[in-house]
């Protein structure tokens, strides 16, 4: 059974209209895939980045992005912490803040003379609000700055 000409014509027009409205395929649900994440570490000591959170102004909530922990040297610039991440629920959202969760190990002054010294882990969050191009699109690079804080202990 053949479809009437007008049915095919309308289907073709609908496909063309959808493609024109979303030339980069953002309307197809992959708008925030293959996102790369990097950091500037303003500290003079190394840290371990454990995850990112993105403030979606569009949704009014933080979106959590997990990846493998990665060591970032002190003073590093544009240090890649994750590649090809798929930020769920962020398609075409305005990302206006990024929280970087990080940690480092330190030795308290009290235990510095002990053998072995007691090693503690400081867990911190740095929030970057200097996002210049906030719309989350496929292939996007997000860079956040870990703002310098005095290091604990003597380690």
pLDDT tens for 54-113 read 999 999 999 999 999 999 999 999 999 999 999 988 888 999 999 999 999 888 777 767
The dihedrals phi and psi of 130, each to the nearest 5 degrees, come to -100, 45
Q: Which residues make beta-bridge pairs with 82?
A: 37
Considering 18-32, 44-58, 99-113, the range whose residues carry the highest mean pLDDT is: 44-58
Q: How many CB atoms lie within 10 A of CB 137?
A: 19
Tell me what pLDDT residue 101 has: 97
Share in percent of the chain as helix, strand, coil (round to 5): 15, 45, 40
DSSP 67-116: EEEEEE-TT-SSEEEEEEE--TT-TT-BEEEEEEEEEEEEE-GGGTTSSS
Report the alpha-carbon distance of residue 117 to residue 57 in Å, rounded. 45
pTM of the model: 0.74
DSSP structure class, residue 59 = T
* Predicted confidence (pLDDT) per residue in 97-112, tens digit: 999 999 998 887 777 6
pLDDT tens-digit series, residues 122-136: 999 999 999 888 899
**pLDDT of residue 22 exceeding 60:** no
């Amino acid at each position: 059974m053949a479809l009437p000409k007008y049915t095919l014509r309308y289907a073709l027009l609908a496909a063309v209209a959808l493609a024109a409205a979303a030339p980069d395929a953002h309307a197809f649900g992959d708008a925030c895939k293959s996102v790369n994440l990097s950091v500037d570490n303003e500290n003079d000591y190394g840290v371990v980045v454990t995850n990112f959170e993105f403030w979606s102004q569009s949704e009014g909530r933080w979106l959590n992005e997990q990846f493998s922990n990665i060591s970032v040297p002190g003073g590093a610039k544009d240090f890649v912490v994750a590649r090809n991440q798929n930020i769920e629920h962020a398609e075409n959202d305005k990302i206006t803040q990024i929280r970087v969760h990080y940690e480092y190990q330190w030795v308290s002054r009290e235990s510095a003379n002990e053998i072995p010294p007691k090693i503690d882990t400081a867990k911190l969050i740095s929030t970057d609000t200097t996002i210049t191009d906030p719309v989350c699109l496929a292939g996007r690079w997000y860079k956040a700055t870990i703002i310098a804080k005095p290091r604990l202990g003597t380690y």
